[in-house]
Amino acid sequence: MADLVSPVGRDIDRVEGRLKVAGAAEYSADRRVAGMLYAAVVTSTIGKGAITGIDTAAATAVPGFVDVFHHARPLMALAAPPGPGENYAPLQDALVRFHGQIVALVVAESPEAARDAASLVSVTYRAEPPRTSMDGNMPGVPANTPNLPPAMVTVLEPRFPTIDAALAASEVVVRSTTRTPVQHHVAMEPHGALAVREGDALTVYTGAQMPIVQATRIRAKLRNEPATVRVLAPYVGGAFGSRAQPWSDVVLAAAAAWTLRRPVKLILTREQVFTVVGHRGEVRQTVRLGASRDGVLTAVAHESDAELPFVSGWPMRPADDTSAVTYRTPNLHIAQRLVMLDRPPTWAMRAPNEAAGAFALETAMDELAVATGVDPVELRLRNSATVAPATGLPWSSKHLDEAFRVGARRFGWSARRARPRPRIDGQWLVGVGTAAAVYPANRESSSVRVRLCADDTAVVSTSISDPGTGAETLLAIAGADVLGITVRRVRPELGDSLLPPGPPVAGSSVTASTVPTVAAAARNATAQLIQLAVTHARSPWHGADPAGLSFADGRLRGNGRAMTFGRLLSTVGAEDVVGQAQTVLDPVKAGQFMFHSFGAHFCEVRVNRFTGEPRVTRFTTVVDGGRIMNTQAAHSQIVGGVIFGIGQALLEHDPVEPGGRPASANLADYMVPVNADIPPIDVHWLDHPDPELGARGIGEIGTVGSAAAVGNAVFDATGIRVRELPITLDRLL
């Protein structure tokens, strides 16, 4: 029989795609169980202060009302264990830490009754002025965070005492201060959970990125009262970082089910998601570049002040994965600070440090191109790094220069006219821009189980989830590839905290982490199959030398005969064989190499001469992402990442009113790109499997630098440099 073509590196449809488009995939909010109660939350309407009174009389009169909880009528004692996320537990005290904080929880027999009753809860406050502006609260404190390298990095040539001296000795210096705003993940599936208590066990259905992490955190927040917490997330309607840990909605659903001993479903309204769930923080960055007259960098200084709320969240360090690892420079200075504000928690959002950092660095590089008269692509090639400036380590694999050359050709970059000769087409000013993308190629420890079944199917199990990334299909592809069977004969099993621990579904690490582990687990399963074949009395290979048997194309072969694994299992009367594997990180490799994926963006924008309206009209992205497992899913990831960047560049922000209220807590005011905002996006892969990693992650890299490419194109079109995102039309008039 002819060998099956490997599914790796081809367009493979999502294995769960039909279920999703048919509405048959059950997300956590879709799930119903007998005896279920519904919960709704009341959120604070001041930005800082304390609750002075809560009147629940009107709420209790609503038909179907069951109970109401708040700090003075506690549901149960909750903990704020150290670790990621907020530093407080909901409904434990009268303190209001930000606008939109949960201050009461209503439980009722129907979702309508719960929301109706919640709307009738009347809360009075003693308000204090919140710290809401970055400007009034500068400068920040150093962003040193546990388990991370210091927030200050300075590498200087001996002849320079300071970075300022290195800059002063440079022939050309540009200084660029940029601001990137609050952004929200706005995953399609609203946040929430259904929690079910059975005895001393709690089961929580919630759209978790990492079921085991969520289960552990939920149990810790419930002061470890449940003996076990199981999290189930078979389908997740988008995450982008927002579902990496449980927010107060999940904790309260779990606490209510635990206390009331009835299943409780709590789904936030869209408006509540904007404040209960952490957001991408606001950042101000100053990048100073020193260079020779022909554009060769002599000094890079990158300083940032990022919002870190009083309730904590994600401490942004935007230079870590941009200026520290992108361009060759003999003098480098990085200082990352945090500014404490009374705002909802910040949190990691797709390329959390890199999206902000690359906007600052790649905008400054464009300013250097203007200052030196060097073509922006040529400038990046001239400053190409072979070792990372902050560590001096080489990369496991790096083809960023090729990405720029290939991208320039595909995009038609050579047709660009150097300023000052803008292109005008009717009522449109036309400009082009470029930017580099660098994102860490994270690989984490992971465990996988592969079960070969008597019906000639295989089950690949690990506790990751698929928040829309294509991870479920990836497990099927990886299993099918090693076993030599069709993708359809592999059943992925994921989204359950009881499965073998997978890698974090974060940091674009799933592909690089799970593919080798799936392969190892599959080989472990086939080795056991061979053992079974030579030891079982009913096996045709009984008593044979195992060395004479081999497994390929889903079949065991040896001594002139072949049999599918399912056939052998049924012949011997076995249901299955189960293989396991765990891969752990190699600390030696980690000390020898830098691991990153790379990309080059090319963007054409048209800016209306009369209205100032900017439109992105062409986009090309070339990605050096190692071996590409599923070209279709990978294409979608890069397109999605670039769309994120276009949204960051032109549309998304959420100004905070002086009282602390986010001004755009809904999808009418908070603008995300729609189809009409997005041109065809040309995505191209460089085919260079990483010698160390094989496949690398690509889920976030499309977001890195894409906003800068847009901004640089806007400058090329108009001569106006907008350093504060988003670039709205009023800034281009």
Minimum distance from residue 350 beta carbon to ligand MOS (Å) = 5
Q: Which residues contact 79 (CB under 8 A, 6 or more apart)?
A: 89, 220, 221, 222, 223
Minimum distance from residue 244 beta carbon to ligand MOS (Å) = 5
Q: Tell me, yes or no, if 700 is annotated catalytic.
A: yes
Nearer to ligand MOS, 299 or 348 (CB): 348
Interacting residues toward ligand MOS by CB under 6 A:
209, 241, 244, 348-350, 352, 506-507
Q: Quick check: 189 and 236 in contact, CB under 8 A?
A: yes
> How would DSSP label each residue in 231-254?
EE-S-----TTTTSS--HHHHHHH
Minimum distance from residue 531 beta carbon to ligand MOS (Å) = 40
- What is the Cα–Cα distance from 437 to 704, expressed in whole angstroms? 5
Q: Are strands 458-461 and 490-493 parallel, antiparallel or unpaired?
A: parallel
Nearer to ligand MOS, 363 or 508 (CB): 508
What's the count of helices (H) and strands (E) in the chain, helices before strands?
16, 28
- What is the Cα–Cα distance from 34 to 28, expressed in whole angstroms? 15
Q: Quick check: 365 and 379 in contact, CB under 8 A?
A: yes
Nearer to ligand MOS, 363 or 703 (CB): 703
Minimum distance from residue 239 beta carbon to ligand MOS (Å) = 7
Q: Quick check: 468 and 237 in contact, CB under 8 A?
A: yes
- What is the Cα–Cα distance from 285 to 263, expressed in whole angstroms? 47
Q: Quick check: 674 and 647 in contact, CB under 8 A?
A: no
Q: Quick check: 307 and 134 in contact, CB under 8 A?
A: yes
- What is the Cα–Cα distance from 450 to 504, expressed in whole angstroms? 19
Minimum distance from residue 242 beta carbon to ligand MOS (Å) = 8
Of the candidates 445, 511, 504, 39, which has an alpha carbon nearest to the alpha carbon of residue 245?
A: 504
- Which residue among 282, 354, 362, 700 is the active-site one? 700
Nearer to ligand MOS, 278 or 711 (CB): 278
Nearer to ligand MOS, 357 or 431 (CB): 357
Nearer to ligand MOS, 37 or 639 (CB): 639
CB atoms within 10 A of CB 286: 16
Minimum distance from residue 338 beta carbon to ligand MOS (Å) = 18
Q: Are strands 332-341 and 141-142 parallel, antiparallel or unpaired?
A: antiparallel
Q: What is the CA radius of gyration of the chain?
A: 27
> How would DSSP label each residue in 10-72?
B----TTHHHHHTT-S--GGG---TT-EEEEEEE-SSSSEEEEEEE-HHHHTSTTEEEEEETT
Q: Quick check: 466 and 472 in contact, CB under 8 A?
A: yes
- What is the Cα–Cα distance from 665 to 52, expressed in whole angstroms? 26
Minimum distance from residue 506 beta carbon to ligand MOS (Å) = 3
- What is the Cα–Cα distance from 339 to 307, expressed in whole angstroms? 5
- What is the Cα–Cα distance from 337 to 340, expressed in whole angstroms? 10
CB atoms within 10 A of CB 341: 26
Q: Which residue number has the CB closest to ligand MOS? A: 241
Q: Quick check: 189 and 27 in contact, CB under 8 A?
A: yes
φ, ψ (nearest 5 deg) of residue 3: -60, 140
Nearer to ligand MOS, 67 or 472 (CB): 472
Q: Which residue has the tokens 């009262």?
A: 225
What does DSSP assign to residue 540? T
Nearer to ligand MOS, 215 or 533 (CB): 215
Distances (CA, A) of 628 to 291, 385, 405, 511, 515: 36, 24, 20, 9, 11
Minimum distance from residue 625 beta carbon to ligand MOS (Å) = 16
Nearer to ligand MOS, 209 or 304 (CB): 209
Nearer to ligand MOS, 244 or 686 (CB): 244
Minimum distance from residue 505 beta carbon to ligand MOS (Å) = 7
Minimum distance from residue 680 beta carbon to ligand MOS (Å) = 27
Kindly list the catalytic residues: 700
